Amino acid sequence: MPRPRVTVIGAGNVGATAAQRIGELGAAVVLVDIVEGLPQGKALDLAQAAPVVGQDVQIIGTNDYADTAGSDVIVVTSGLARQPGMSRDDLMSKNAGIVRSVVQQSVAHSQDAILVIVTNPLDAMCHVAMEASGFPRERVIGMAGVLDSARFRTFIAQELGVSVASTSAFVLGGHGDTMVPLPRYSTVGGVPITELLSAGTIERIVDRTRNGGAEIVALLKTGSAYYAPGASVAQMVDAIVGNRQMILPCAAYLQGEYGVDGLFVGVPVRLGRRGMEEVIEIELTDDERAAFDRSAAAVRELVDRLAEMAAASSTAAAPAAG
Ligand code: APR
Based on the residue annotation, tell me whether 127 is a catalytic residue of this protein.
no
CA distance 203 to 228: 22
- What residues contact 238, with CB distance under 8 A and at least 6 apart? 22, 25, 244
The pTM for the full model equals 0.96
Q: How much is the average pLDDT of 75-93?
A: 86
- What residues contact 322, with CB distance under 8 A and at least 6 apart? none
Cis before 121? omega within 30: yes
Q: Are the C-beta atoms of 79 and 107 separated by less than 8 Å?
A: no
Domains and CATH numbers, the chain: 5-142 (3.40.50.720), 145-303 (3.90.110.10)
pLDDT tens for residues 85-136? 778 788 899 999 999 999 999 999 999 999 999 999 999 999 999 999 999 9
Catalytic annotation, pick one of 21, 42, 175, 210: 175
Mutational test site, ligand 1, from 7, 8, 14, max ligand atoms within 8 Å of CB: 14
What count of residues does the chain have?
A: 322
Distances 75 to 49, 96, 142, 251 between C-alpha atoms, Å: 22, 15, 10, 14
223 lines ligand 1 (CB under 6 A): yes
pLDDT tens for residues 142-176? 999 999 999 999 999 999 999 999 999 989 998 88
39 lines ligand 1 (CB under 6 A): no
